[in-house]
Amino acid sequence: MSTNKNASPIDAAPYALLGGETAVRHLVKRFYELMNTQPEAQGIRRLHPQDLAGSEEKLFMYLSG
């Protein structure tokens, strides 16, 4: 795949504009950190397994298409 250095931001893929894999992984990690620590999220937290690694990976893959 070639990259056009003169491409405008409107031509770039939304995933790249968000910051790509690194940014999406950071977003997912922060989401689950907040779910673990915010009292208002405890109801949804109880629906998840104790180890969130699998849930994090699934959400990352979903957001990554």
pLDDT category at 58 given cuts 50, 70, 90 is very high
Check: CB of residue 17 under 8 Å from CB of residue 10. no
Q: Where are the domains of the chain?
A: 16-64
pLDDT category at 6 given cuts 50, 70, 90 is low
Q: How many residues does the chain have?
A: 65
Residues 33-56 have pLDDT tens digits of 999 999 999 999 999 999 999 999
Say how many C-beta atoms besides its own lie within 10 A of residue 56's C-beta.
16
Across all residues in the chain, what is the average pLDDT?
A: 89
* CA end-to-end span of the chain: 18
Question: Which two three-digit tokens encode residue 25?
Answer: 């992984």
* CATH class of domain segment(s) 16-64: mainly alpha
d(CA 2, CA 26): 27
pTM of structure: 0.75
